[in-house]
Amino acid sequence: SAAQVSLTQPVSESVKLGETVRISCTLSGYSISDRYLHWYQQKAGNRPRYLLYFFSDSSKHQGDGVPDRFSGSKDSPNNVAHLTIKGALLEDDADYYCAIHHPPSNSLHSGVLL
């Protein structure tokens, strides 16, 4: 039978303006080392906005118009991905979702409120 795959994020993070926040996403049932991790931002009443994907330092992509204070990283030994937001602004108040593509066609995700 196929392994149970899930992504887990903290329910919420509190941060002061100007601070750096790091949001975690833990993958269970599959190694994170060979997965592309995608991050989305969703503000109340709006569609999700694609932020970035991160595979490795040499294989990553920033979404259109997404400032470089948003960045991705991985902690492969602990099977955790991170989204770092440097210099938090009021406009960053949103839900943040991590996602992976899990064959054949479904994405798995879980949200965190900042």
Q: What confidence tens digit (pLDDT) does each residue in 82-99 have? A: 999 999 999 999 999 998
Confidence of residue 102 (pLDDT cuts 50, 70, 90): low
Which of 30-34, 67-71, 78-82 has the least mean pLDDT?
30-34
pLDDT of 74 > 60? The answer is: yes
What letter represents residue 89's amino acid?
L
Alpha carbon of 55 to those of 33, 59, 62, 82, 84: distances in Å? Answer: 8, 5, 12, 11, 15
Query: Does the predicted model carry a pTM greater than 0.85?
Result: no
Q: Please give the domain boundaries of the chain with CATH numbers for all domains.
A: 17-104 (2.60.40.10)
Half-sphere exposure of 103 (CA within 13 A, CB side): 3
